[in-house]
Amino acid sequence: MAVEDYVDAGVAVGQANLGEVPGKAPAVAKDVTYERLLNARSEPQNWLTYYGAYDGQRYSPLDQINTENVKRLAPAWVFQAGSVGMHAGPSTYSFEAAPIIVDGVMYLTGWDGWVWAIDAKNGDELWRYKHAVPYDVSLCCGNVNRGAAVAQGKVFVATLNAHVMALDAETGHAVWDQVYGDVRAGESATVAPLVIKDMVIVGSSGGEFGVRGHLDAFDIETGERRWRTYMIPKPGEAGFETWPQDGEAWQRGGGNCWITGTFDPELNLLYIGTGNPCPDFDGEVREGDNLYTDCVVALDADSGEIQWHYQYTPHDLWDYDSTMENILFELDGRKVLAHFDKNGYFFVLDRTNGELVSVTPFVDRIDWGEIDANGKVTPKRYPEKEGEPVHFYPGPAGAKEWTHAAYSPKTGLFYVPVQDVGATATRRRREFKESIPYWGAGVQVDAEDHAGSISAFDPATGGETWRWKRGLPMCASVLATAGDLVFAGEPTGEYNALDARTGEHLWKFQCGSGHHSSPTTYSVDGRQYIAVPTGWGAWAEGFLPGMLGARQGASLVVFALPEE
């Protein structure tokens, strides 16, 4: 048949053109300056950066929703994302983001390269960006993304194939696109970027694939790389003495930075948590403390140079990443930071120099080892002999996973999602091959005999003030507000409000799927909203295998008090 006989099917169009998506958002982000980010908490109507402010407290001064009226809280709108076509990690997609809000516009990321601008008042989709993610990208822990950063008219996101991108905040169109990780080495990216000054900071994922973790800074206008700092020193660099001197272990040492850091502008220090050493459970091939894995590393924000570090778990044999937040606060006038580690201990450090202030356990069952009041670590139970199973608490998901604690300066308490679950690891040495998982063990997390809680801690004493006990580990970030409320989601789908002073349970709503995200709060036209990305999934086999078969989901549920 002649070519001219064919019907002209035209040119393919973007799916948003067939979805009533206007493709335009108000120009609110162009005025988001570094000054505003420095003073983010002075704009309680907005949630300008990943943790709400550089200090990582996940605390909002909003108090319209409070202990008296929270029982009337109800859904205001729902944004459903769903899934189209065959995508990477199809069994593991999960909604893990922290929604960013700027003057009535929400910037939200989903799994598999989704980015949306949404009307924060009614849930209308304003624009979308969808990055095409290779189906075969290495993902240790699910098809997930933890959020965006917004500044100077741009939305910054990391993609699963390790690009960092700047999108036009009004249209969602790409402004620049930089590759910062090697997918052939097993690197990926799930982190929410952090904007500091005129830079956007991102780290990579891939600690289970024997990569060399690093943190990168890019110019927010041009995308030009400003600096890269490796978290595993190479020969000749400080810290290399903590690795085998004659081997290749440092080349595959892990130490990835897959969670957003916190920042003290007065000290100009960026505090970043680093991931596990690799191979995770076979320490014999990497004798030594293995710096800078399982650390908080304080970097000069301008140069990326490491100023000091504190290692929470030297020579880790249990997959105890320390990537999760280091929350900045004042204790008796002293600049300190707080960190709840996977290893089950609550650390307070002097954030000017990394000196240990206090260390106390925050979960009931810890038997991997012990950390005394001076910070001395004594390992007790760990995979050592080839083929011999060893059970230990906490398991590799930790007594607290990456999901975040909150700190209320009003109550002076920390609120922590606690996981009390163990695991069995059996050392199985394997040869390293680039892009292949490099654990050095077979691992099975307990599918029963587990527990969880939201626990409140007084940093002055390290003591537990109250505990809201649950039968399942708690795997979602906590949010604290000036309404004297603590919000927390459960794996079974309930979203809860607790009295921040007593732990009394005040309200709940069943969202239809489990929680594994970082909810945020904001207000528009004087009405306070609580935005809750809901969608179970990710590496449930690692943090809660007893809920591996629970309903997955893909909804942002936004709550508010009924309008009068």
Instruction: Provide the binding-site residues for other proteins, judged by CB under 8 A.
Output: 1, 3, 5-16, 18, 84-86, 128-137, 161-163, 173-174, 177-185, 187, 210-212, 214, 225, 230, 234, 248, 251-252, 431-436
CB atoms within 10 A of CB 222: 12
CB of 392 to other proteins, least distance (A): 30
Measured CA to CA, the distance from residue 219 to residue 460 in angstroms comes to 39
Q: Is the dihedral of CA 237, 304, 359, 448 positive or negative?
A: negative
DSSP 8-state secondary structure symbol assigned to residue 233: P
- Residue 468: both structure tokens together: 């809201």
**Identity of the residue, 32 or 137, whose beta carbon is nearer to other proteins in the bound complex:** 137
- Catalytic (active site) residue 319: yes
Minimum distance between the CB of residue 107 and other proteins, rounded to whole angstroms?
A: 16
What does the alpha-carbon distance between residue 508 and residue 213 come to, in Å, rounded to a whole number? Answer: 40
Q: DSSP secondary-structure letter at 374?
A: T
Query: Do the Cβ atoms of 553 and 83 come closer than 8 Å?
Result: no
- C-alpha 99/C-alpha 534 separation (Å) is 12
Minimum CB separation of residue 239 from other proteins in Å reads 15
Smallest distance from other proteins to CB 2, Å? 11
Sheet of 479-481: strands edge to edge? 59-60, 479-481, 485-489, 494-499, 505-510
The span from the CA of 301 to the CA of 352, in Å, is: 14
Separation CA 463–CA 213 (nearest Å): 34
CA 200 to chain centre: 16
Phi, psi for residue 195 in degrees, rounded to 5: -95, 125
| Residue 299 near residue 272, CB atoms below 8 Å | yes
Closer residue to other proteins in complex, CB, 137/441: 137
SS3 247: coil
Q: How far is the CB of 346 from other proteins (least distance, A)?
A: 34
Contact at 8 Å (CB) between 46 and 103? yes
210 vs 349: CA distance, rounded Å: 29
Least gap, CB of 301 to other proteins (angstroms): 22
- Show the tokens assigned to 556: 């942002």
Beta carbons of 204 and 55 less than 8 angstroms apart:
no
| CB of residue 470 to other proteins, shortest distance in Å | 39
- Toward other proteins, which CB reaches closer, 165 or 500? 165
Q: Which is nearer to other proteins, 247 or 463 (CB)?
A: 247
* Residue 284 or 434 with smaller CB distance to other proteins: 434
Report in angstroms the alpha-carbon separations of 188 from 144, 211, 347: 11, 10, 29
Q: To the nearest whole angstrom, how small is the minimum distance from the Cβ of residue 173 to other proteins?
A: 7
Nearest to other proteins of 3, 20 (CB atom): 3
Q: Which residue has the tokens 């091959």?
A: 433
Cis peptide before 193 (omega within 30 of 0): no
For 449, the token pair is: 């005999």
180 vs 415 by CB, closer to other proteins: 180
Instruction: Select which of 55, 319, 321, 341 is catalytic.
Output: 319
- Specify the residue, 90 or 387, whose C-beta has the smaller distance to other proteins: 90
The DSSP-derived string for 508-535 is EEE-SS---S--EEEEETTEEEEEEEE-
Give least dist CB 297 to other proteins, A.
Answer: 17
Closer of 223 and 389 to other proteins (Cβ): 223
- The residue type found at 534 is T
Active site residues: 319
